[in-house]
Structures are given as structure tokens and as C-alpha cells.
A = this chain, B = another copy of it.
């Protein structure tokens, strides 16, 4: 079969669009529509990777007591002033201080208390004489060096002083941040609520995800893909399953309790594309038709306070529409950076990429021997191309493409 001239079908489906909204304008609509969700108190053990809703200030000193920072002997520094190998000063050991088991008494002149790292410094003592500066003899020891007052003694609040801001709002909590929160006695943390995202796949031809395709039916690949993307972007995915191409069923699914509704399929202007009309009738269809390929037949709007994204049914277009618009919304609602959570690198092109002026082009590529190879598949229906691809190159709307050899930015899928 010879390759037909218009293998990518998005354009043709778009011919019905009166105008196409530039990608940047659609992104700006998303940015205006999305404010971070309110906080929710969450147990410490579930907070890693969540976004802190407010500044956290410590109400306690860590540590809350003077502690030994080395193994050795708690002493009064003045008692051993001038001690050296040639001027050993004897001390009487009156007990020991261990972590959690402090010495229950006071160190007087000429006395010492054995102390372990992390243990409380006993009353009366003002320094730790390290174990290697000591010679033991019977029930006593001899200091072979002196120490300054405060030596090897960790002060109260050394790690975190009461009243210190330890973490700022907007922080994506790292493992060690969770440790820090634990150390100041925080058992529950106010983190930004995760957006609930209902996922609706429409199409009479669709079988539930993971079904073996039979006859003229295909398995729903968009729902499980979108659910994984939503989780990546910090949302709570709630797949609805497959919905037939029937206006009532689609409207019901759009009205599920959610912060964001993703409807894949039926997003264009054909006679079976019900979702845009439903959104116009029952809510607001703010944008419909985007100047990009694939994913031109993408819509977005609102319905009773929900954000609704109408994503093309063709899976590559669905992926691109998610990544440009819906994922951005989910990240912003969760108070995360709007930008893609992808790495990018700059590499030269092995072959040229062409694109039409006026629309953004999303080109799947492989990185081979330090060069970028565009993947030569026409259709936005070829989902497997996004598994074979290492990432994608975005050709700007004002560009006709890039010649072979030019270094361009490739965004890596992982």
C-alpha cells in the first residue's frame, strides 16, 4: 500500500473547527482555571512526596537537652584545665549516662560520669572529655588532655531551635523532611489535597481495559494509561470504565464527583462526538480545537465546578493532550510545578523534522547513538510508538521544522 498524503488523521477531523486555539493560549486557560486545592491533615507515614500546604515551624527544641556528642566522660572543664600526657588529672567516675537513661545526679568537683553519644549531659558537667583522652584506673580515670567548656556537648536546639521554620509551604516532602517532621513531634501534616480525577473512556468499539480484542472491538487503552499519568502527577485516579457513545451516559459520567474529569474519545466535531456539545449545553466549553498535531481535537471547559478535559480517542493524541493540558491542571491543583516531570537533553537530529507553520508538532523520537531519530509512523492511533520512543521533540508553531544535524531539545519519557 502506498503511503497516502494525509496519514495523520487529526487534521482532517479538525477541518470542522472554525478556529484552532494556540497551545500557549490553552495552557494559559489551564493556569487561570487552577488554584491549589485546600489542605488536608495526613498521617506522617503517608506524607512523602506530598506537597506541604503551609510553613512548618517547630514548637520544640531538638534536642531538648544538652547531649554528649562523643563517647567519653562528662566533666567540669575547669577541673581538668592544663591536663596533658605529662600532667594527668585524676577524676572519680560516679556513674554513667546512656541515651534515654540519664545519670540521676550531679557532677561535683573532681568527678566524672561516663557518657555515650546522644546521652544527656549530667547536671554540673559542662563538657565531654573524649574516651581516647582518658586513662582508666580502678574506679577512676585520669584526664590526659583538657577541653574547653561546652566541648563535645550538643546544645539545646542544636538541630532545630524552637520557633524555627523548618519547611516552607509548597515543599514536595522528601524522605528526610518526613524524618525532620517526626523529630519535632509532628504526627499529622497539612498537605495539599490531591485532585480526584474521574477517567471516562467513550466508544461503542471499546472493551474494558485488558480485554482481549475481539472482532471489530478494541480494548480500552486510554483509561489505564491516563490513570497511570494521573498518579504520576499526584492525582487520585478514579477510572469509570467504558461508556458507550450515548449522550446520557457520557453526561452521567461527566457529572461524577471529581475535581477533574477526563473524557477520552468523541472530542472532535463529528456526528458521534457528543462530549463537546454536552459540555456546551450543561457547562462551559471554553476551548475546542487546538493548533497542534496530534491532539488537535481537544477541548476543555467546566461543568458544575469540575474541570473537564475532552481528549481525543486516538491514544497518541490522548497522551499528548493529557501531557499538555490535563496533566498540567492536575499538577497545579495539587500545588506542584506546572512543568512536565520529565528530563530533557539536547541532541542533534539524525533526520529532518518538518512541521506546518501555525501549529505545534509533537514528534515521537528515539535516541540512537547520540542522535535523535524521529519515529516514522503516521497515525496518532499507533500507541506502541510511544513505547518504542525514548521521548519527544516539540516543534514550535512558528517553525517549519528542523534540518538534520541541528541540535534540538528532546524531552525524555523516563
Which stretch from A17-25, A85-93, A221-229, A254-262 is at the chain B interface? Answer: A221-229
Closest residue of chain B to A11 (Cβ to Cβ) is: B70
Q: Is the CB of A382 within 8 A of B158?
A: yes
A contact residues, total (Cβ < 8 Å): 111
A41 at the interface (CB under 8 A from B): no
Contact B102 A216 (CB under 8 A): yes
Given known pairs A1-B153, A183-B213, the reply for A225 and B178 (CB within 8 Å) is yes
A99 within 8 A of B: yes
**A175 on the B face (CB < 8 A):** yes
Verify B148–A2 contact, CB threshold 8 A.
yes
Contacts of A220 in B (CB 8 A): 182
Residue A170 is within 8 A (CB to CB) of chain B in the complex:
no
In this assembly, does A62 line the interface, its C-beta being within 8 Å of a C-beta of chain B?
yes
Verify B182–A225 contact, CB threshold 8 A: yes
Is A251 on the interface with B (CB-CB < 8 A)?
Answer: no
Q: Least Cβ distance of A388 to chain B in Å?
A: 9
B225 touches A381 (CB 8 A): no
Give the docked Cα–Cα distance between A194 and B132 (Å). Answer: 45
The answer to whether the Cβ of A402 comes within 8 Å of any Cβ in the partner chain is: no
Copies of this chain per assembly: 2
What residues of chain B lie closer than 8 Å to A172, measured between beta carbons?
414
Expressed in whole angstroms, the Cα–Cα distance for A221 and B166 within the complex equals 14
Complex formed: what's the CA distance from A155 to B270 in Å?
23
Contacts of A315 in B (CB 8 A): 176, 179, 183
Asked if A319 contacts B176 (CB within 8 A), the reply is yes
User: A9–B209 contact, CB under 8 A?
Assistant: no
Closest-by-CB residue of B relative to A316 is: B176
C-alpha gap A177/B69 in the complex (Å): 51
Residues of chain B contacted by A219 (CB below 8 angstroms): 182-185
Distance of A228 from chain B, by nearest CB (Å) = 3
Q: B224 near A44 (CB under 8 angstroms)? A: yes
Query: Which residues on B sit within 8 Å (CB–CB) of A158?
Result: 379, 381-382
Contacts of A71 in B (CB 8 A): 9, 12-13, 270
